[in-house]
Amino acid sequence: MANLIKPHGSDTLKPLFVTDDSTRSQLAKDAGSMPSVTISSAAAGNAVMLGGGYFTPLTGFMDKSNALSVGASMTTTDKVFWPTPVLNLVPDAGSIKAGDQIALKDPNVDGAPVLAIQTVDAVEKFTDAEIQTLTQQTFGTIDPEHPGVAEFLAQGKVAISGPIKVLNYSYFEKDFPDTFRTAVEIRDEIASLGWKRIVAFQTRNPMHRAHEELCHMAMDRLNADGLVIHMLLGKLKPGDIPADVRDAAIRKMIELYFPPNTALVNGYGFDMLYAGPREALLHAVFRQNMGATHFIIGRDHAGVGDYYGAFEAQEVFDTLPDGALEIELFKADHTAYSKKLKKVVMMREAPDHTKEDFVLLSGTAVREMLGEGKAPPEEFSRPEVAQILMDHYRS
């Protein structure tokens, strides 16, 4: 077995999914007589990530003191580096109290089946001021127009904390059987391939030529054995391309433009936070947990609108104390096709170029072209990938 990078804050991965079938079905039965709460989509995503080992070493949902500590200093109360609060927030906990075992119901699946069982450590209410502070620290803004802020503020102010046992992976396994993978499964696959240096690439969009070349560049410069393209499969903001279409487009690109057995395509079940720098750090934590040694971070990683500086998500890593993370960054500049050099380059590595020397298209322009059934130029998007996207926009 290859000697893989250690999980975050632990010698072993700590998946909270109940693997034993009989135990799991007994818990599902017992859930019927427990107090239950239908949780937010964000909390359901947290449960799925905890279940799959991605949120190692956490054992469940944070209490108020841990969430506030993570907001203020990016460490839990017992000094584990963690960049974003992992909460089960509800508008009202009713009669639920410390010591209870409760069934957490999934808001994203018809009939709201039980997703996890939680042992309640505490039920605590955040004040308005505490929620505002935590929002500002996590997202860098309290603007309700920010999609992540809007989602966070809509959940409620009552935190139900305590360890969880996860019974299923929500809709992700059924809807994305070929793509959804837990951190446990990805680690096992990397080990079986014998990879030692592994680059992870995060995406919530289809990949254009620039992204494809960026992955090749990173693999080349880091002398990596393999690449994991790891896509978000949860909820996005309106107008973003659905996961199944993205999945098809990315697989087509890998099949045609990467050597065999050098790239894995898989995904994780979580909703996008659009939290810029803090989310970039969270992305690095769970990429380390799935076994990646290096992580590509480019311009405006996990950003939205103009809320974050172009390279803030890279710079935040320079502020971390030594040893906070073992995974290393591959810092990327904006990549684009150079008409002069006839290839995709990082713009900072082509100092003799003007803007006119690059093929640059805005997301809006690309969406309009695809919607009209026009393929973007080949320097921007592979024709086979563009075809999948055009079919989506036309339907």
Query: What is the number of alpha carbons within 13 Å of residue 197 lying toward its C-beta?
Result: 11
**Catalytically annotated residue among 205, 251, 299, 367:** 205
**Catalytically annotated residue among 66, 88, 108, 204:** 204
Select from 360, 302, 318 the least CA-distant residue to 336: 360
299 is annotated as an active-site residue: no
Q: Are 231 and 243 in contact (CB under 8 A)?
A: yes
Select from 62, 3, 2, 6 the least CA-distant residue to 323: 6
Residue 41 three-state SS:
helix
Which structure tokens are listed for 371? 């919607």
Select from 57, 92, 125, 82 the least CA-distant residue to 324: 82
Select from 252, 375, 235, 175 the least CA-distant residue to 391: 375
Which structure tokens are listed for 65? 């003191």
Cα–Cα distance for residue pair 149/143, rounded to 1 Å = 7
Residue in the block written with tokens 């684009």 = 336
Which structure tokens are listed for 334? 């904006």
108 is annotated as an active-site residue: no
Select from 41, 45, 40, 65 the least CA-distant residue to 55: 45
CB-based contacts of 339, cutoff 8 Å, min separation 6: 357, 358, 359, 379
**Active site amino acids:** 204-205
